[in-house]
Structure 1
Amino acid sequence: MRFDWISPIRINLKMLRIIGLWPDGEKYKLELYTLYSMVIVGTSLFLHTLFYTVEVVLLLKSEMEIVIKTLFMALNQSIAFLKCCCFMYNLKRMKRLIQNLENDLFQPQSDKQRKQIKPMIVTWKIGQLSFFAIAYITLLLFLLLPILTKTTNQYRLPFHAWYPWSIKKSPFYEITYLFQSFAFTLRVTCSTTMDTLVAALNTYISAQCTILCDTFRSISPEENIYQNIKRCVLHHKEILRLAKDSNAFYNWIALGQFFTTCITLALTMFLLSLMDPFSSEGQTLLLYLCVVSSETFLYCWFGNEVEIKVRVKMLFCCYLLQK
């Protein structure tokens, strides 16, 4: 029975499909889904990035707290938009990468190898579900903040942003509130889906290194040793190809994420120093701090797992083969 490498990331692919980033082919075509994608990404992400940026410029001479609140949301909205653009640019490579996971060389050769890679997949799933949970709980708290603080009568929105219409009237306030909620939900979905997908790719590379190491150790003189070594060499080349394609896909995403995270962490901690940490807004920011830290942790942890497999296990297997 073949091991299904697509199954663990199927929820990621479905979410990408929902937010307009996963067309049927290797590129966008003249069809309704392309129009849907343009409306979703353009209206919700690009326009909100623009509105936040304009608000930052307009508030430069206002209170520092309000400026920083708007600035760190503008930064996060910008990185989400850039992630989407980067994903669209590398869509063809990503589609082929997913297809290559079905390569026969990537299949475990025994029940022992299946048992070895299972804990890695389980660890990734736990990380994925935990990250999804904390991200969407934080999202919900942000969206409900005007209601929890009872400031809806002051026409307060979940996030400070400039709009080319007055939000001090009904139903413009309610429509803008819903628009912000939709845009921020899309942003969170975009970030969580891509971040956990990158973690999954690193997990798959680690799993393939584990399979290759076990195959090396299982080579015996009684079998066709040259055929087995040839298979291992081909498998190693496919792992390198998988790693190269994965890096090409998320290198710029990771760079932008780390850059934005550093600034966001600093701004968030500064905001926490200006308010009561036990207030509704303070607790929401604390949760947001956890989300941003977890987002960076996903890249570091699963990326480090690849380093461990390559530098320790693979070298150890080569040493055993020489013996």
Structure 2
Amino acid sequence: MKKFNWKSTISTNVLFLKVTGLWPETGLYKLNKYTLYMIFVVILVNSHNFFLTANVVNAYQDLQALSAIIFTIFMKWLTSGKMIFFIRKSETLKHLITQLENEEFQPKNEPQVVMVQPLLKMWKMIYFVYWVPVFSTITFWTIFPILDGTVKDYRLPFSAWYPHDYKMSPLYEITYLYQVVCFWYLATLNVNMDTLIASLMMYIGTQCDISSDNLKNLKNDGDKDFAKKLLQFVEHHKKVLRFATECNNFFNEIVLGQFFTSAVSLAVAMFQVTVVEPFSTEYFSILTYVSAASVQIFLYCWFGQQVEARVSQKQL
């Protein structure tokens, strides 16, 4: 039987991670152009987050302005932290993906290939659905100073402190572009890191399906290869458990930080909805953000539940 290519499902995901500097070819960052590019984007993103956070000094006495700053910086700092974590764990991540190419993780027949397709297709669908609210959010945040006319007052998409006076041309245009580039980069990074973690849970679920099917078809009816098949089943079961444990060790800290940060950000976002002008561009940008954050939490919960359901079914 032809070898099944597990990585083809996440090919678009991997492409975006390569573009954002989080997918070195060998799994390790070496002294080359790609590593220098990664260092550049890390500095770029963290400097953007720093300038946003520094503005707290100017707004700490204004609850509405302060909530707007908190609303934007929480998720950005989390994304930056996830980025550093992915960089630090790049070898582990590559090892996890490479394990799927092992013979033990391969479907044994065509029915098993068909059996794993629904979960793979669901991941693909959610990946592209996730982009809809995210793309809407970053588009709204990018252009709302233009749409509401405040661009003539030199308003930026995000309130921030800078060591220069940006309220003059061309510094305003340069600063505006700087914020937009960083925001689009962070959003792209966030979507693809979240969905990659979801893909690991998806792979665990498909391996549970394969293992369950192998067990159902394991019959001792005089088959001379029964002992061999039993040993193969046990070996596959042990490797699936090991793979699941390694995946949990890889992303459990990220998921904990994600749930905490998303809860705070959603609470602040709902407060922001009550203080901005109804049906304004900013109002809709906050709503699209809430939609994106909700899909983000759904992503972890849904695929986590799929793994739990399959493990429970297998135990029964």
Report the TM range for the smaller structure's normalisation.
over 0.9
Measured in 2, the distance between the counterparts of 1:111 and 1:30 equals 44
- State the shift of 1:58 in Å: 2.5
Q: Which residue matches 1:320?
A: none
Q: Which residue matches 2:189?
A: 190
Give yes or no for the alignment of 1:180 onto 2:179.
Answer: yes
Give yes or no for the alignment of 1:82 onto 2:95.
Answer: no
- State the shift of 1:67 in Å: 1.1
Structure 2 stretches lacking a partner, 5+ long:
none
User: Runs of 4+ in structure 1 displaced over 6 angstroms?
Assistant: none
Q: Which residue matches 1:130?
A: 129
Q: Which residue matches 1:266?
A: 267
Q: How does 1:120-269 map onto structure 2 within 5 Å?
A: 120-220=119-219, 221-223=221-223, 224-269=225-270
- State the shift of 1:308 in Å: 0.4
Q: What TM-score do you get using the length of structure 1 for normalisation?
A: 0.95
**Is this contact kept in 2: 1:87–1:249, CA < 8 A?**
no
1:133-168 CA distance string (max 9 Å, x none):
221121111101111111110001111111111110
Give yes or no for the alignment of 1:289 onto 2:290.
Answer: yes
Q: How does 1:81-100 map onto structure 2 within 5 Å?
A: 81-100=80-99
Q: Which residue matches 2:311?
A: 310
SS state at 1:6 partner: helix
SS state at 2:166 partner: coil
**Is this contact kept in 2: 1:20–1:41, CA < 8 A?**
no
- State the shift of 1:222 in Å: 3.7
Measured in 1, the distance between the counterparts of 2:254 and 2:157 equals 27
**Is this contact kept in 2: 1:268–1:285, CA < 8 A?**
yes
Measured in 2, the distance between the counterparts of 1:249 and 1:206 equals 17
**Is this contact kept in 2: 1:52–1:71, CA < 8 A?**
no
Task: Compare 224-233 and 172-181 and name the one that shifted more.
Answer: 224-233
Measured in 1, the distance between the counterparts of 2:246 and 2:184 equals 29
SS state at 2:168 partner: coil
- State the shift of 1:66 in Å: 1.3
SS state at 2:55 partner: helix
- State the shift of 1:49 in Å: 1.5
- State the shift of 1:275 in Å: 2.4
- Give aligned-pair identity as a percent: 37
Task: Compare 127-136 and 215-224 and name the one that shifted more.
Answer: 215-224
**Is this contact kept in 2: 1:51–1:161, CA < 8 A?**
yes
1:24-53 CA distance string (max 9 Å, x none):
22221111111111001211x210111111
Measured in 2, the distance between the counterparts of 1:209 and 1:303 equals 13
* CA-atom RMSD in angstroms: 1.1
Measured in 2, the distance between the counterparts of 1:222 and 1:137 equals 61
